[in-house]
């Protein structure tokens, strides 16, 4: 793979997923051939993730491809820089996530999205979970934080939730 061309190759996979979804195909595992699957793996992405973005786009026209690309770029960077291009081999369980009603610093959903962002960065999302889903987007919009920026903040904060909380508070204050 030519690293310079990865965004275009990803766009082709995304467009293919949207077309398959619109045709009524719902098996993410059948969307991509061997070279496409290998390409996605090389950037730390799975077919299910592309499917989830295509499904949401087809049903609600969110998130935009620009947002999908930025989220994927943040994951790709983490995968290559922190993980050295190697999968952790782990998938989190749904019961490891805080519930959607959990709060931190008065922000409902924040503990859950922090856990989801960490799992997304590490490539550990279970198939039934999506980062940037219909629950994440309203929360992030309400606190004035782009989903890809949130991933990068979580990456930079490492295990320090307070840094993330402080960032969210500052961003939310700008939105008022």
What residue segments make up the domains of the chain, in order of their start?
Answer: 3-175
Q: Does residue 6 register a pLDDT over 80?
A: yes
Whole-angstrom Cα distance, residue 77 to residue 43? 8
> What pLDDT score was predicted for residue 120?
98
Q: Does residue 44 register a pLDDT over 90?
A: yes
The reported pTM is 0.96
CB 124 within 8 A of CB 92: yes
pLDDT digits (tens, 9 = 90+) for 96-147: 999 999 999 999 999 999 999 999 999 999 999 999 999 999 999 999 999 9
> What pLDDT score was predicted for residue 176?
62
> What pLDDT score was predicted for residue 3?
85
Whole-angstrom Cα distance, residue 34 to residue 55? 22
Q: Does residue 22 register a pLDDT over 70?
A: yes
CB 132 within 8 A of CB 50: no
> What pLDDT score was predicted for residue 2?
72
pLDDT digits (tens, 9 = 90+) for 56-87: 999 999 999 999 999 999 999 999 999 999 99
Q: Does residue 175 register a pLDDT over 80?
A: no
Q: What is the phi/psi pair of residue 18, to 5°?
A: -60, -45
Determine the 3-state secondary structure of 104 from DSSP.
strand
Q: How far is CA 60 from the centre of its chain?
A: 17
């Amino acid at each position: 793979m030519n690293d310079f061309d990865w965004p275009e190759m990803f766009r082709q996979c995304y467009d293919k997923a949207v077309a398959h979804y619109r045709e009524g195909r719902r098996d993410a595992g059948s969307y991509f051939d061997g070279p496409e699957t290998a390409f996605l793996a090389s950037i730390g992405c799975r077919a299910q993730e592309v499917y989830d973005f295509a499904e949401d786009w087809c049903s609600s026209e969110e998130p935009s491809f620009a947002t999908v690309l930025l989220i994927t770029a943040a994951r790709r960077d983490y995968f290559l820089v922190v993980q050295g291009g190697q999968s952790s081999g782990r998938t989190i369980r749904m019961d490891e996530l805080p519930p959607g009603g959990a709060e931190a610093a008065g922000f409902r959903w924040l503990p859950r999205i922090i856990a989801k962002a960490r799992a997304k960065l590490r490539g550990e999302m279970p198939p039934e979970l999506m980062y940037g889903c219909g629950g994440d987007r309203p929360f992030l919009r309400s606190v004035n934080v782009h989903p890809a920026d949130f991933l990068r903040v979580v990456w930079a904060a490492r295990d320090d939730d307070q840094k993330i909380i402080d960032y969210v508070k500052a961003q939310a204050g700008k939105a008022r």
